[in-house]
Each structure stands twice: as structure tokens, then as C-alpha cells.
Amino acid sequence: MKILVTGGAGYIGSHTIIDILENTDHEVVSIDNFSNSDPNTFDRVEAITGKRVKNYNIDLTSYNSLKTEFFLKEGHIDGVIHFAALKAVGESVAKPVMYYQNNLNGLINLLKCAQKFDVDSFIFSSSCTVYGNAEHQPVTELTPTQIPESPYGYTKLVGEKILSDFAKTKKDFQALSLRYFNPVGAHISGLNGELPKGRPNNLVPVVTQFASGWINDLVVHGTDYETRDGTSIRDYIHVSDIAHAHVLALEFLNKSESETNYDVFNLGSGNGVTVLEVLHAFEKVSGRKLDYLLGPRREGDVEMIFADNSKATKGLKWDLQYGIEDAMASAWKWQQFLNKSKSGDKVRL
Ligand code: UD1
């Protein structure tokens, strides 16, 4: 199969490309305009897999560029894995139009091309954010979705809806939305991991960059939640486990194992972990003490969310390989690689 990965230089996209190249015979092409990623990612993918991935620097919000500069040039594409999107919750509140414009137009243009160029399989990166502040934990795929707290969350909920409506109209089309919980960690080699531009928002890059002195403070956002230690609970899942689920999802779509041509899966570990437990796991595997501060709640954060992942483990035959300590150890290995190779905020091999 020939697979288009959008956002191939991004965090989950690049790990998924590595998994596809290591475990399948599929051909991979990427579209990434490096708006929140680095072209050197493809050097790192090559260092790990020995294979060079062709990338097109195209903005998905331009239908004409997507059609003429990619689809008309590349020939038939069997499947699309669509990661490319903006993903900072706080930024989406400040710049809602940018989020709707980018995340929704990018998806719509891809679907227009899927129609025109007869793509059969489509995987959409969704998020556990569609469940909002769910009453019961863990959440299953049948847990009702809620009105999202942020424009970012809306783009995921509406994106799912657009894809499921589109799937009803296209013959021989198979589509999935994969709802990621909190992807963390790095490739086991320590050669590829998360590197957002600017100060990170997500907990694990904040922790590793703080431990390396790249940023000056690490604040625990909220200590008065009704949880076992007062800090909020999330479901942290190793990025390589998430990546592998995409390879299994392609197989699932290819075999048309789904009873309908659109389905959703939770991609989480099934374990709820507090912020303090994450920090302690990092301290344990790194041997570093974290001088963190206790602060107020972060606006828009939910108290607790973790996955019932049984639909994915059974349906996709997904075996998780890594736990939270593996994730923190690999994230730390990646950070140490960055510390050695850092020049400005660019990564050089
Ligand atoms: C959120 C979204 C998720 C989205 C992700 C992308 C929800 C429920 N989740 O994840 O769908 O894919 O953003 O960015 O909306 N924390 C600190 N200090 C920090 C940073 C984080 O204490 O410096 C805490 C947060 O308050 C939170 C936990 O760590 O409880 C995880 O935060 P983060 O890594 O930002 O992810 P989410 O907000 O859960």
C-alpha cells in the first residue's frame, strides 16, 4: 500500500512513519509544512530505519496545492493518516479562527482529494478531549461526547463528524477516528521524540526541558482536585504504542473488519496517573530531583480522564509494550540527545 502521512515530521506522525517502515512493506510519503516541526525529523527517521521519506512542504488549507502539487504528482494513494493539525489548547482559545481554519480546512481538502483520487482508507487523529469532563471513568467509545472546552477540542469533535458523514457517501471507503489520550515518551533509541517550537505546554516536555535547564520553572497546575494526591489524572500512553496502533488500524481497514465503514477507537493505556505520579516516575528513572512548584488549576483542564481501551486491544489486536516509567526513561534519553545536539532551538544530528 502507498500511505500518505500528513504531519509526518510531527511527534506522533514521525513515530508512526518509523513503525510503518519497520513493520510493513507499505510505501510512505509525507506532507508537512513544518509549522510546528523540524525538517531534521526526516534525518532522524532515516537514522533509525535506514530509509528516507519523501516530504512535500504543502499547506493543507490550499486545496489547489494539495491537488496539483501532491495528488496529481504522486499517483494513487491507498490510505491517508491525517495527523497535521494545530494542537495547543490555550492557543486555540486565543486564536480560534486560526484553529478552525487550519484544522477543519485541512481535513476537508484531504477528503475532497480522497473523493477525487479515490483513496480507500482514512485515519483521523482525534482526542480524548471530545469526552470533556465525563461523569464516569474510564471512558469507553460509547461515553457521550460533550461540548468541548476549547476551539481545539471543537475541531476534533467536528472533524470526527465531517469524516463520519463523508464515509456514508463514498463507496468502498473505510475510515477511523482514533482518540488519543496523552501521548508521551520517545523512540526507544532516544533519537526521535517530542520537540514543540517555543516553550512546551504539555507536561512531559516541560519536565524534561526543566530538568535540563532549558526552562526555569515547572508548575503543577492544581493540587485541590478530588484525586488520590489532589493533582489531575490523565492516561499517559507511550507514543510508540500509539504509533503501532496506526499500523494495526491500517490492517483493520484493509481487511474491512469493521461492520460499518466508520468507527472510533480509544488509544489510551487504561491507567489513570496523577501529575505528581508522573513527576515521581521521572525522578525515579532519571535519578534527578525535580524542584517543582505547586500552582493553581490551569483554565480548561478536566479533573480526570482515562481510557477503557478494550475495544482497541481486542478489535485492533493491540498489545501495549510500554508503561509510564518506560515513557519517562525514553523521554529523558531523547532530551539528553537534544542537550548534546542543541544549537539554538534547532535539532541537528
Ligand atoms: C490536552 C488535551 C488533549 C490534547 C493535548 C494536546 C484534554 C483533556 N486533553 O491534554 O486532548 O491532545 O492537550 O496538547 O483537553 N500540567 C502541569 N504542569 C505543566 C503542564 C501540564 O501540571 O506545566 C498538568 C496539566 O494540568 C494536566 C496534565 O499535566 O493535568 C497533562 O497536561 P498536558 O500534557 O498539557 O495535556 P492535557 O491538557 O491533558
**pLDDT digit string, tens, across residues 191-230:** 999 988 888 989 999 999 999 999 999 999 999 999 999 9
**Which cell goes with 174?**
473505510
Determine the structural domain holding residue 92 and report its residue range: 2-343
Cα(245) to centroid(ligand 1), Å: 22
**152 tagged catalytic:** yes
Q: Within a domain: residue 334?
A: yes
Mean per-residue pLDDT, 156-181: 97
For residues 260 and 234, the model is more confident at 234
CB atoms within 10 A of CB 164: 17
Q: Within a domain: residue 82?
A: yes
Residue 325, helix vs strand vs coil: helix
Q: Given ligand 1 and candidates 147, 203, 225, which is best to mutate, with the most ligand atoms within 8 Å of its CB?
A: 203
Q: Given the CA of residue 207, which atom of ligand 1 is nearest to it?
A: 23
Mean per-residue pLDDT, 227-252: 98
When the pLDDT of each residue in the chain is averaged and rounded to a whole number, the result is 95
Q: Within a domain: residue 348?
A: no
Q: Tell me which of 131, 152, 154, 225 is the catalytic residue.
A: 152
Q: Is the CB of 333 under 6 A from ligand 1?
A: no
Handedness of CA 7, 9, 10, 14 (dihedral sign): positive
> Which protein residue has the closest C-alpha to ligand 1 atom 1?
89
Q: What is the DSSP letter of 145?
A: P
Which residues have a Cβ under 8 Å from the Cβ of 26 and sit 6 or more positions away?
A: 1, 2, 3, 20, 250
pLDDT value of residue 345: 52
Q: Where are the beta strands (DSSP E) in 7-59?
A: 27-31, 54-56
Q: What's 262-300 look like in SS3?
A: EEEEEECCCCCEEHHHHHHHHHHHHCCCCCCEEECCCCC
pLDDT at 161 over 60: yes
Q: Within a domain: residue 234?
A: yes
Report the CATH number that the domain containing residue 293 is assigned in CATH. 3.40.50.720
Q: How many domains does the chain have?
A: 1
What gap in Å lies between CA 270 and CA 268, rounded to an integer? Answer: 6
Q: Within a domain: residue 349?
A: no
Q: Within a domain: residue 43?
A: yes
Which residues have a Cβ under 8 Å from the Cβ of 268 and sit 6 or more positions away?
A: 128, 138, 180, 181, 182, 235, 237, 306, 307, 309
CA distances 27 to 60, 76, 227, Å, are 21, 11, 46
Q: Within a domain: residue 100?
A: yes
pLDDT at 105 over 50: yes
Q: Within a domain: residue 133?
A: yes
